[in-house]
Amino acid sequence: MTYNFDEYIERRQTNSMKWDMFRDPAYTIPMPVADMDFRVAPPIHQRLLSIAQHGVYGYAVLPQELPTVVCSMLLEKYNWAIDPDWLVWMPGMVVGLSNAAALWANSEKGILTVAPIYPPFYKAIAYAGKNLQTTALLLVNGRYTLNFEEIERSFGKNIGFFMLCNPQNPGGTVFTKIELNRLAALCVQYNVTLLSDEIHCELLLDPKAIHIPIASLNNEIMQNTITMMSPSKTYNIAGLGCTFAIIPNATLRAQFVKKAEGNWPMISRMAFEAALVAYTQCDQWKTDLLHYLKGNHALVLEKVNSLPGLNMQPLQATYLAWVNAQLQPQLYENLLENGLRLNQGAYYLQPGFLRLNFACPRATLTEGLSRLETTVLNNLA
Ligand SMILES: Cc1ncc(COP(=O)(O)O)c(C=O)c1O
């Protein structure tokens, strides 16, 4: 390991959403909000320092080399050859989700998504003025997957747009080629446009999991899909805001771009250049990060599954454990009293579950897990 992820970096009173928003007592360890308590890779840090030293924060344009870098990255990692003209740069993925859903606002057709899922998916559908229609994740042999029969039934009832998250947040699944082919075939058969949020695609924990951008499977699904990716989660630059959509279909891309007009702020120089450096100079950092996260994941998995009334499935990707605490109904509140803040499952439409972000130094995680254990055991006493 070249990089040290054990270093504790104080984030309180840095206007951090994770550490400061909830106004918790100083003792509380926060493990909600999907960012990491690690400093960025040194090349990103250096680039941002040099921009700060320059001291001018005017409007920025897309760095000329960034589209080429993204195209090479997609080719190298996923064997997906794209045209740089298919890229649409966005200041964040959540605005992209809402923008895409808004394309269906005046359509007679509905929008379907998965439950549980990252809550802005639900909001995007609500902002588009559509009823929320969901298909539940199925737990099959210790892994969450899609209910294809249910999806097909829904598609048959006037669905125009399906919103997928792959790797799945919060289920942790990396969908296989077989699953993706099946979903792609359904989308094509029922003429359903697909949104594939692939923000977690580089955070693979399971050595057997391979991320496949669904749009890369064949030309038909490619023409029907809006793929979204970003270096923000993997390289811990989410607060900067540089994301891209890949929309090969020119008509769909034009609609998407038009819908966004006047709605999005410009992307900053810091965000663009951090993305550029992330994709070109941070491979070793990422390798070490994944090694560290795998260690944290093993600790969480073992502890959670050793506690009475709790269980979780191993994650294939992400640093977000999805803990079934349905047998411990007051656990969220009790954990807060004992100084551990997690995310509540109800927020993801799965009450009784808790989401635990383990992207933190091991000492912090160990203390958090110890508070989890004490609270669970006290509840039973
Ligand atoms: C699946 C998913 N999509 C999007 C986002 C947020 O993207 P952004 O910060 O670029 O809006 C997150 C953050 O946790 C996420 O988990």
Residue 224 has pLDDT above 90, yes or no: yes
Q: What are the start-end ranges of the E strands in the chain?
A: 29-30, 87-90, 110-115, 133-136, 138-140, 143-145, 159-165, 193-197, 225-229, 243-246, 311-312, 320-324, 340-341, 343-344, 353-357
Centre of ligand 1 from the C-alpha of residue 70, in Å: 19
pTM above 0.85, yes or no: yes
> Peptide bond before 167: cis, by omega within 30 degrees of 0?
yes
- Which tokens go with 144? 């969450």
Residue of 99, 200, 233 to test ligand 1 pocket, by largest number of atoms within 8 Å of CB:
233
The residues near 310 (Cβ < 8 Å, ≥ 6 apart) are 304, 323, 324, 325, 327, 328, 331, 376
State the pLDDT confidence band at 329, using cuts at 50, 70 and 90: confident
Give per-residue pLDDT as tens, 51-98: 999 999 999 999 999 999 999 999 999 999 999 999 999 999 999 999
| Three-state secondary-structure class, residue 106 | coil
Residue 167 CA to ligand 1 centre (angstroms): 12
CB atoms within 10 A of CB 59: 8
Task: Measure 306 CA to ligand 1 centroid, in angstroms.
Answer: 30
* Cα of 199 from ligand 1 centre, angstroms: 7
pLDDT at position 358 is 98
In testing the pocket of ligand 1, which one of 16, 31, 90, 94 has its CB within 8 Å of the most ligand atoms? 94
Q: Which of 35, 93, 264 to mutate to test the pocket of ligand 1 (most atoms within 8 A of CB)?
A: 93
Residue type, 42: P
Q: Which atom of ligand 1 is nearest to the CA of 165?
A: 1
Residue 181: what residue type? Answer: N
How far, in Å, from the CA of 195 to the mean position of ligand 1? 14
Predicted pLDDT at 31: 98
Per-residue pLDDT, 368: 98
pLDDT at 380 over 90: no
Q: Does residue 106 carry a pLDDT above 80?
A: yes
> In angstroms, what is the C-alpha Rg of the chain?
21
User: Can you list the alpha helix ranges (DSSP code H) found in 109-195?
Assistant: 120-127, 148-156, 177-189
For 332-359, write each residue's pLDDT tens digit: 999 999 999 999 999 999 999 999 999 9
pLDDT of 381 above 80: no
How confident is the model at residue 3, as a pLDDT?
A: 95
pLDDT tens-digit profile of 170-203? 999 999 999 999 999 999 999 999 999 999 999 9
pLDDT of residue 277: 98
Distance CA 7, CA 19 (A): 17
Which of ligand 1's atoms lies nearest the C-alpha of 33?
Answer: 14
**Tens digit of each residue's pLDDT (9 = 90 or more) over 110-167:** 999 999 999 999 999 999 999 999 999 999 999 999 999 999 999 999 999 999 999 9
- What is the whole-number distance in angstroms between the Cα of residue 176 and the centre of ligand 1? 21
Question: Mutate which of 121, 164, 169 to test ligand 1's pocket (most atoms within 8 Å of Cβ)?
Answer: 169
pLDDT band at 1 (very low <50, low <70, confident <90, very high): confident
- Report the percent of the chain where pLDDT is more than 70: 100
In this prediction, residues 278-290 reach a mean pLDDT of 98
| 110 alpha carbon – ligand 1 mean position (Å) | 23
What separation in Å is there between the alpha carbon of 214 and the centre of ligand 1? 18
Cα-based torsion angle of the residue sequence 248, 252, 253, 257 in order, rounded to the nearest 10 degrees: -170
Position in ligand 1 atom list of the atom nearest CA 92: 10
Burial 161-188 (b: 16+ CB within 10 A, else e): bbbbbbbbbbbbbbbbeebbbbbbbbbe
Q: Residues near ligand 1 with C-beta < 6 Å?
A: 34, 92-94, 118, 165, 169, 197, 199, 230, 232, 238, 243
In the reported structure, the alpha carbon of residue 23 is separated from the centroid of ligand 1 by a whole-number distance in angstroms of 23
For residue 164, report the phi and psi dihedrals to the nearest 5 degrees.
Answer: -110, 150
